[in-house]
Structure 1
Amino acid sequence: MQLIRQTFRDQMNLYVFVAVLFIVGVVFGALMVNALSLEQQQELSSYVGNFIHTMDSKTTSAHVQTFWQSAFDYLKWVALIWILGLSVVGLPFILVLDFIKGVLIGFTVGLLAGQFSWKGLLFALASIAPQNMIAIPVLFIVSVAAISFSLYMIRSRVMMKRNFTMKQPFLTYMTLTTTMAVVLLGIAAFETWVSPTLMQWVAPMLPEVALKH
């Protein structure tokens, strides 16, 4: 935790930049919903209803499979950012990934709000907000660490100073990313065993879902 706090203080400007980029992505994703045709919106709404109903019938083995799938998705995202941080040319792609993550969340929330109004927002708070309250800061931490390491490599190559060492920055980068990966495993567990319960509590409020019960 001390490492995380120190990194946050030293890289405040980068955190602000990444956060703003993410928020722009959220707004863009929410606006994308308006570009969908009525038929496309109805199909997605129906998919949401079917997804909720599958929660009731999941067995223990299915939950385990869901956990590993969720964990793989999270770790794949972090691994991609980590790899991009190891290369100088990967820096802009890290920012693109942060923007895309914002777009995905904004689109999901915008779709639910557009189809179910305030009830859709309530469902989004139950199904999306809890895990993302931790997952998004983790994404910011990993992204800023990757950007910082990439910038460090750029400075070392441009300035060509002998006192530049890659060992300690790389170990710090690796330790921080690994720690965040472990946190994401906990988020995947929450998403697998807790989020479905929250969604089932709120689901009856959604008209299309309530009709199917």
Structure 2
Amino acid sequence: MNFAIDKLNTTFKDKKAYFFIVLIMFCLGISFGLYTVKYMGVADKSDLMNYFLSFTSSIGNEPVNYGSLLFEVIKKNMLLIVPIFILGLTFFGAPIILILDLIKGFTLGYTFSFMVTTFEGKGIGLALVSIIPQNLIYIPCFIGLSVICLAMSTDRFKERFFKRGQSKDSCLNGALNKLIIIIILFIAGILVETYISPGLIKFVAKRFYL
């Protein structure tokens, strides 16, 4: 684990500019998500509240199908990881990667803000147990993946149009070990989201919503 952290720290030190760009886009997305909930119409908020109450009721009363949940969690993460990696292999992927960073931040900010503001004090507990555990792992991994793939895509762009930057093979080989570490950490986040978060959500749902 210490080796993985040291490897990622080295990546961020070498690519500070990319790191700050990714972080800014991610934080902008969170801000947009927070303000979207703040200015949401009453009817939309009411519909979402009713849906969310039915969801928490089903979570609290029904057993968790871990096999199905694991599949959904893996699919959700692959729909994010795979496009970013593929975009990193192209010379035009950098702007799209940043847009995906913005969307990821927006989703996180929107979900957290909705839970907290809609259910007031009770929503904080549910937001914490349903969002925080896995995202303590996901967010650094997502940012690390974006930084690496943004750097790869930028090198492709420089190589194609300015005849400088690292070659395709050296760039990919240099990033491969870091990407493997990030994937391993993503797997840890998937296991947390599948096997730990549902139990925490059920506990909070039964205690405060049922």
- TM over 0.5, yes or no? yes
Greater alpha carbon shift after TM alignment, 91-100 vs 37-46: 37-46
Match of residue 154, structure 1, among 143, 148, 157: 157
How many Å apart are 1:65 and its aligned residue? 1.1
Instruction: Decide whether aligned partners of structure 1 residues 160 and 12 sit closer, same or farther in structure 2, where only a CA change above 3 A counts.
Output: closer
Letter paired with 2:27: I
Cα distance between partner residues in 1 of 2:196 and 2:170: 39
Question: Structure 1 stretch 19-28 or stretch 46-55: which is displaced more?
Answer: 46-55
Output the amino acid matched with 2:29.
G
CA distance in 1, matches of 2:166, 2:66: 48
**Matched positions, count:** 205
Tell me how far apart the structure 1 counterparts of residues 85 and 115 of structure 2 sit (CA, whole Å). Answer: 32
- Separation in 2 of the partners of 1:44 and 1:104? 15
Cα pair distance change 1:17/1:57, threshold 3 Å: same
Q: Deviation string for 1:156-202 (max 9, x for gaps)?
A: 223425x9532121123333333322322221121111111111232
- Which letter does structure 2 place at the counterpart of 1:23? C
Residue 203 of structure 1 aligns to which amino acid in structure 2? Answer: A
Tell me which residue corresponds to 1:166.
168
Instruction: Report what 2:123 is aligned to.
Output: 120
**Is the Cα–Cα contact under 8 Å of residues 18 and 144 in structure 1 kept in the other structure?**
yes
Would you say 1:63 and 2:66 are equivalent positions?
A: yes
Is the Cα–Cα contact under 8 Å of residues 137 and 188 in structure 2 kept in the other structure?
no
What amino acid is aligned across from residue 190 of structure 1 in structure 2?
V
Closer/same/farther in 2, CA of residues 123 and 28 from structure 1, 3 Å limit: same
Aligned to 1:52: 56
Matched, 1:145 2:148: yes
Q: Which sections of structure 1, spanning at least 5 residues, go unmatched?
A: none
Letter in 2 for 1:185: I
- Does the 8 A contact of 1:119 with 1:205 survive in 2? no
Shift of 1:52: 2.2
Per the alignment, residue 98 of structure 1 pairs with 101
- Separation in structure 1 between the aligned mates of residue 207 and residue 29 of structure 2, nearest angstrom: 28
Residue 88 of structure 1 aligns to a residue in which SS?
A: coil
CA distance in 2, matches of 1:66, 1:150: 33
Amino acid at match of 1:156: E
1:1-213 to 2 correspondence within 5 Å?
1=4, 2-55=6-59, 56-59=61-64, 62-160=65-163, 164-204=166-206, 206=208, 209=209, 213=210
**How far, CA to CA, are the matches of 2:159 and 2:123 in structure 1?**
50
Which stretches of structure 1, 4 residues or more, deviate above 3 A after TM superposition? Answer: none
Query: Aligned partners of 1:154 and 1:19: how far apart in 2?
Result: 21
Secondary structure class of the residue paired with 2:153: helix
Q: Distance in 1 between matches of 2:88 and 2:191?
A: 27
State the percentage of identical aligned residues: 25
Counterparts of 1:104 and 1:9, CA distance in 2:
28
1:26–1:107 contact (8 Å) kept in structure 2: yes
For 1:71, give the aligned amino acid: I
Instruction: Tell me: CA distance 1:164–1:74, structure 2 relative to 1, closer, same or farther (3 Å).
Output: closer
Q: 1:125 is matched by which residue type in structure 2? A: L
Aligned 8 A contact 1:82 1:146 in 2:
yes
